[in-house]
Amino acid sequence: MIKVLKFGGASIKNAEAIENVFSIINTFKDDDVVIVFSALGKVTNMLEEVVDRYVQKSSTVYEKLQEVKDLHYNLINKMFDQDHDIFNIVNNLFLEIEWVLEEDPNTEISYDYDQIVSVGELLSSNIISAFLKLNNFENQLIDARDIIKTDNQFQNASIDWSLTTEAIKRHIIRFPVITQGFIGCTSENFTTTLGREGSDFTAAIIANILDAGKLIIWKDVDGVLNADPRFFDKTILLDHISFTEAIELAFYGAKVIHPKTIQPLQKKDIPLQVRSFNNLKNNGTLINSDKINNKRPSYIVKENQVLISISDKDLSFIIEEHLSFIFSLLSKYNIRVNLMQNSAVSFSICIDNEKYKVPELLGELTRRFNVFYNDKVMLYTIRHYNDVSIDTLIKGKQILLEQKSRNTVQYIIS
């Protein structure tokens, strides 16, 4: 049976962690596996910082890049002999970043972002593939840019399913395969990325096209919990949920699964198991097409939100024409609305505070409307709420906006 395994950054953060991943992979000897890796823990954030400093033309950009280099060289110094070819491979990957840094930033920041940040996944996958080979685990490293074909919406590229299907069928013929999550390639051969945490989505695309029997996403938590342990003391493992419930949880911001991951699996009825790489006794969460009647409240927190309230300069009603203008701006900047609400005189949206997009959006909106905004707000969602769950959640908090539907209640909290 073909199984797709996906390991995120936390599972490969150092040499011991990679050894542990190796022992997990070894238990899948009898399966045809495709193994998808993210960048090493924290590396994507560090590379984003490199991009920021490059765009600001700060001279400290090379210091930040040096931190990324140190992290990788410390690791391969531990794992390989000095004459191993991996040192050349890693040198060359860093050269690719340096070539970008030598030129002036592009007018399209997202393009530079993708060229720099994608290197994180190329580094981790090359290192792990070489390490497995060193330990007699033969594998084929496939560059995700040869199989994941996208449009040129840099930083948030969409998949070209027909080209991707054709490429996956052509390239993935022998197992085990190792590849990168999160990155893809345009038809002009430019590297793209699929959006933060997009590796899960890559794994789901591959599972879909290969008609895999299962996708397993390995996490540093036991599975899908009913609440984010960073914000809530008591959490419960959801051992079995439906695809639909998983889509809802991801949509509202549950960090454990990337929102785009479920649909490709649901289409082919491929079960997803989310389990812990630290706790192999636990089976984690199974997500499939079974109908499960879960009425237990789930709590989701989305941080770093902006609440924007838009009204007419002369306080007249927001009419359809205004809404269509606002939506065309949102679509122009490719901004997803996490919550919206309208009243007689204003229209409010809550969006992620993306640092390159939000200032530009606000700039365009203020030219035509009165605009108020609160940044650094949080969006709290309870699925399957009840009175007790609401009381516990909102106690002592300042609520800026509330929205309730049959299954879900949401609060914007400052």
**CB-CB contact of 135 with 84 (8 Å):** no
Separation between Cα atoms, residue 330 and residue 348, nearest integer Å: 13
**Euclidean distance between the first and final Cα of the chain, in Å?**
49
Secondary structure string (H, E, C) spanning 205-259:
HHHHHHCCCEEEEEECCCCCECECCCCCCCCCECCEEEHHHHHHHHHCCCCCCCC
Work out which of 5, 9, 186, 208 binds Mg ion, going by CB under 5 A.
9
- Output the DSSP codes for 162-202: HHHHHHHHHH--SSSEEEESSEEE-TT--EEE-STTTHHHH
Tokens linked to 289: 């097409």
Q: Is 259 in the site for ligand ASP (CB under 6 A)?
A: no
Q: Which does 182 bind (CB under 5 to 8 A by kind): ligand ASP, Mg ion, none?
A: ligand ASP
Least distance CB 104 / ligand ASP (angstroms): 26
The span of 65-73, 170-178, 193-201, 299-307 binding ligand ASP (CB under 6 A) equals: 193-201
The span of 38-46, 48-56, 240-248, 302-310 binding Mg ion (CB under 5 A) equals: 38-46
Work out which of 113, 131, 154, 182 binds ligand ASP, going by CB under 6 A.
182
Tokens linked to 196: 């933060």
Q: Is 184 in the site for ligand ASP (CB under 6 A)?
A: no
Least distance CB 115 / ligand ASP (angstroms): 15
Work out which of 21, 36, 37, 38 binds Mg ion, going by CB under 5 A.
38
Q: Which does 198 bind (CB under 5 to 8 A by kind): Mg ion, ligand ASP, none?
A: ligand ASP
**Which CB atom, from 142 or from 310, has the smaller least distance to ligand ASP?**
142
Ranges within 10-69 binding ligand ASP (CB under 6 A): 38-39, 44
**Which CB atom, from 8 or from 223, has the smaller least distance to Mg ion?**
8
Q: Cα 90 to the chain's mean position, in Å?
A: 24
DSSP state of 105: P
**Which CB atom, from 123 or from 307, has the smaller least distance to ligand ASP?**
123
Separation between Cα atoms, residue 414 and residue 387, nearest integer Å: 22
**Which CB atom, from 9 or from 253, has the smaller least distance to Mg ion?**
9
Least distance CB 176 / ligand ASP (angstroms): 20
**Which CB atom, from 8 or from 284, has the smaller least distance to Mg ion?**
8
Tokens linked to 171: 């390239």
Work out which of 3, 5, 8, 144 binds ligand ASP, going by CB under 6 A.
8
Collect all residues with Cβ–Cβ distance below 8 Å to 328 and sequence separation of at least 6: none
**CB-CB contact of 374 with 351 (8 Å):** no
Q: How many other CB atoms are found less than 10 A from the CB of residue 407?
A: 12
Separation between Cα atoms, residue 131 and residue 21, nearest integer Å: 11
Go through 40-74 and write b for each residue having 16 or more CB atoms within 10 A of its CB, e for each that does not.
Answer: bbebbebbbbbbbbbeeeeeebeebbeebbebbee
Least distance CB 62 / Mg ion (angstroms): 24
**Which CB atom, from 125 or from 410, has the smaller least distance to Mg ion?**
125
Residue facing ligand ASP at closest CB distance: 199
Nearest to 5 by CA among 214, 170, 197: 214
**Which CB atom, from 159 or from 382, has the smaller least distance to ligand ASP?**
159
Q: Is 381 in the site for Mg ion (CB under 5 A)?
A: no
Contacts with ligand ASP: how many residues (CB under 6 A)?
12
* Contact code string over 90-129 relative to ligand ASP, x by CB under 6 A: ------------------------------x---------
Q: How far is CA 47 from CA 64, 66, 95, in A?
A: 8, 11, 14
Q: How far is CA 248 from CA 6, 51, 216, in A?
A: 21, 32, 20
Work out which of 3, 9, 308, 346 binds ligand ASP, going by CB under 6 A.
9
Q: Which does 221 bind (CB under 5 to 8 A by kind): Mg ion, ligand ASP, none?
A: none
Least distance CB 73 / ligand ASP (angstroms): 19
Tokens linked to 343: 């009243």
What is the contact surface with ligand ASP in residues (CB under 6 A)?
8-9, 38-39, 44, 120, 181-182, 196-199
What is the contact surface with Mg ion in residues (CB under 5 A)?
8-9, 38
